[in-house]
């Protein structure tokens, strides 16, 4: 049973920084891709947006709204995915979810599609206040 557990969320002021973690367990093999998605308050599941992703080769992709501010990384030894968020803005307020793909790689160009991923965490809330 694959488990993805996010942590590190909370409240921060505009311009602040925060690091999210996603610990993966219960699987064997390789995750071909991992990503972060977010869902803003008041938006339904259809409003969930892709934030960033990293594949097994270390290739990364970012949404335009977070480029230059967010950094995704992974520690394969600890099976942990990270999201370093700097210069946070009120519009970054959302529930952040990590996701993992265990099937063979479909290519980094599919990184923003929810259907690319096989498993999801429960989410961690990030609130940015002015």
Residue 76 C-beta-side C-alpha neighbours within 13 Å: 11
pLDDT more than 70, % of the chain:
99
Local confidence band at 105 (pLDDT 50, 70, 90 cut-offs): confident
Residue-averaged pLDDT of the chain:
94
88 CB-near residues (< 8 Å, 6+ apart):
12, 14, 15, 16, 17, 18, 69, 126, 128
30 CB-near residues (< 8 Å, 6+ apart):
56, 102
Tokens of 91: 């519009």
126 vs 102, higher pLDDT: 126
Per-residue pLDDT of 60-104, as tens digits, reads: 999 999 999 999 999 877 789 999 999 999 999 999 999 999 988
């Amino acid at each position: 049973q694959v488990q993805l557990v996010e942590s590190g969320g909370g409240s921060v002021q505009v311009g602040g920084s925060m690091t999210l973690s996603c610990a993966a367990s219960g699987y064997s093999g390789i995750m071909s891709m991992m990503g972060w998605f977010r869902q803003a308050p008041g938006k339904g599941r259809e409003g969930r947006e892709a934030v960033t992703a990293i594949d097994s080769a270390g290739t990364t992709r970012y949404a335009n709204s977070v480029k230059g501010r967010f950094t995704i990384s992974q520690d394969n030894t600890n099976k942990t995915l990270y999201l370093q968020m700097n210069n946070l803005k009120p519009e970054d307020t959302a529930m952040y979810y990590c996701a993992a793909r265990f099937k063979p790689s479909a290519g980094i160009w599919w990184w923003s599609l929810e259907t690319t991923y096989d498993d999801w965490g429960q989410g961690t809330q990030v609130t940015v206040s002015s």
